[in-house]
Structure 1
Amino acid sequence: MNDEFKNERLVPLSAMKDYKIAKDNPDVLGWRVIGADGESLGMVRDLIVDPHAMKARYLSVVADRRFFNTGDDQHLLVPIGVAALDKKGKRVFVSAVDSNTVGSYPVYTGGPISEDYEYRVRDTLARAQRDTIGTQQEHRAEFDEALREQRTQPSTISDDFYNDASFDENRFYASDQEVYREKIYSTRDYDKEDRTVTEDIHTDERRPTSVEDSIATIERLEHLRERGSITEEEFILLKKRALNL
């Protein structure tokens, strides 16, 4: 594990040398993240794991910059149990967020993950669930007041905090559903010789500079692997480079 994360509660999977995704679970790094309205919100950049419990807690998502009106990458941590897999399409579906609400999702700015950030994520998703199930207007003020009262309490994360379906990684990996409401997204033109993609990544001359570029690169690498143009080991290495890991 990298020294900077040695004493942290939560650690990026990419920083851990002795922690790998279980063999039977799909490697979702680089998968497109789809919101409730079928819009592409970004891609999975990393997993955030609890090294003591040996469990994944969050998906680290790089959001599309257009939702935040910025030229910088915006990282969002999504509780792993909130998402569902679309294994056939190699996508992750998050029903609690869409293209209209992702811009108000708490942004993770890097470094140690604070208790305050985790509570803000929980509160944001709780409000989204409330709106989804159509809570009556008279109950909304009461609901928001309850959240405010909870937030006045010390922001200490206990084991009970993760004792919730939102953090159930088994629920995530066992899920599989088709995402039907997908739009057509522009990608790079890959009607070139196979070696162009791999050489660009190897030489760092044209590394992906946006979420869409990274997704397109990884999708192309998947195709090359399926065709046998690159080995599994080459695919893993090139995908990590496309993700800047």
Structure 2
Amino acid sequence: MGLQENKYTHLVELGGSDYEIVEGEPDIRGWDVKNKVGLKFGEVDELLFDPQTKKVRYIVVDVNNSELDTEQKKILVPIGTAVLYDGKRIQDNDNLLNRGNENSINEDVVVESGSQSATQHYDKTTYNPYDDGKVVVIPVSVEYILQLPAYEKEAISPETELAIRRIFNGLDETETNSGAIEYKPDEFYHHEHFDEEKFYNAKTSSGIRKKL
């Protein structure tokens, strides 16, 4: 089956749906999103989930509210790549921030301040998310943030999701092109990028439930 024949309606935004966050789990919409050197590259705009499985698949990040000198867009971040802080580490997995692209340990980034722009250096050793309040930390470099395709509601395709995976894996495009034709959502989400246990600590099977 070619990409153009796929009907892609299985992912829905949480806002405006008949679902809600499970009681006791954080609703991260509106939280700052930073990488592991402390560069703010956006805010959480929405959560994209599968109503059938009640699994959150992506965080929708609004890059418009960022320190980056980049195009205005929203991007999708796989849920299993995120680490939450709220004055403390919310997840139990201590190894998440040690994963991801190591180019994000030190970065020189062009940031905007009003009509001025300047190059600012970010160093992982100087950033402590425990002191940052409510923040979502994604271990990805600015280079990869800029490469992520713009998110358009109800316009996601297998090609888009595969492009996001390539970027978070740091893979060359040719390594996954052949897999695009055989895209199968059920198998695709078995990848560690979508492991909700790294994001939610709920005793239930998911952080999303039908509204009561």
Q: Which residue of 2 aligns with 1:87?
A: 86
Q: Which residue of 1 aligns with 2:146?
A: 103
Q: Which residue of 2 aligns with 1:8?
A: 9
Q: Which residue of 1 aligns with 2:166?
A: 123
Higher relative contact order (CA 8 A, sep 6+): 2
Letter in 2 for 1:82: T
**C-alpha contact 1:30 1:45 (8 A) present in aligned 2:** yes
Q: Which residue of 1 aligns with 2:52?
A: 52
**Ranges in structure 1 where 5+ consecutive residues have no aligned partner:** 1-6, 128-142, 175-245
- The percent of aligned pairs where both chains have the same amino acid is 33
Report deviation, 1:68: 5.6
TM-score, normalised via structure 2 length = 0.63
CA distance in 2, matches of 1:44, 1:15: 16
CA distance in 2, matches of 1:115, 1:68: 29
Report deviation, 1:101: 3.4
CA distance in 2, matches of 1:75, 1:38: 19
Residue 150 (structure 1) aligned to one of 162, 168, 176: 176
What are the Cα deviations for residues 13-43 of structure 1, in whole angstroms up to 9, with x where unaligned? Answer: 0131x21001021010000001122100110
**C-alpha contact 1:33 1:43 (8 A) present in aligned 2:** yes
Bigger Rg over Cα: 1
What are the Cα deviations for residues 37-95 of structure 1, in whole angstroms up to 9, with x where unaligned? Answer: 2100110000000011111000000013663634xx41111000100001221100001
CA distance in 2, matches of 1:11, 1:23: 20
What are the Cα deviations for residues 170-205 of structure 1, in whole angstroms up to 9, with x where unaligned? Answer: 21124xxxxxxxxxxxxxxxxxxxxxxxxxxxxxxx
CA distance in 2, matches of 1:103, 1:53: 31
**C-alpha contact 1:44 1:62 (8 A) present in aligned 2:** yes
TM-score, normalised via structure 1 length = 0.55
Q: Aligned pair in 2 of structure 1 residues 108, 121: CA closer, same or farther (>3 Å)?
A: same
Q: Which residue of 2 aligns with 1:34?
A: 34
Residue 162 (structure 1) aligned to one of 183, 189, 202: 189
Q: Aligned pair in 2 of structure 1 residues 149, 104: CA closer, same or farther (>3 Å)?
A: closer
Of Structure 1 and Structure 2, which has the larger fraction of its residues in helix?
A: 1
CA distance in 2, matches of 1:155, 1:110: 24
CA distance in 2, matches of 1:79, 1:120: 12
Figure out how many residues of one structure are paired with residues of the other and give that number. Answer: 148
Q: What secondary structure does 1:112 align onto? A: coil
Q: Which residue of 2 aligns with 1:113?
A: 156
CA distance in 2, matches of 1:54, 1:92: 21
**C-alpha contact 1:80 1:172 (8 A) present in aligned 2:** yes
Report deviation, 1:108: 1.4
**C-alpha contact 2:166 2:176 (8 A) present in aligned 1:** no
Moved over 6 A (4+): none
Report deviation, 1:103: 1.5
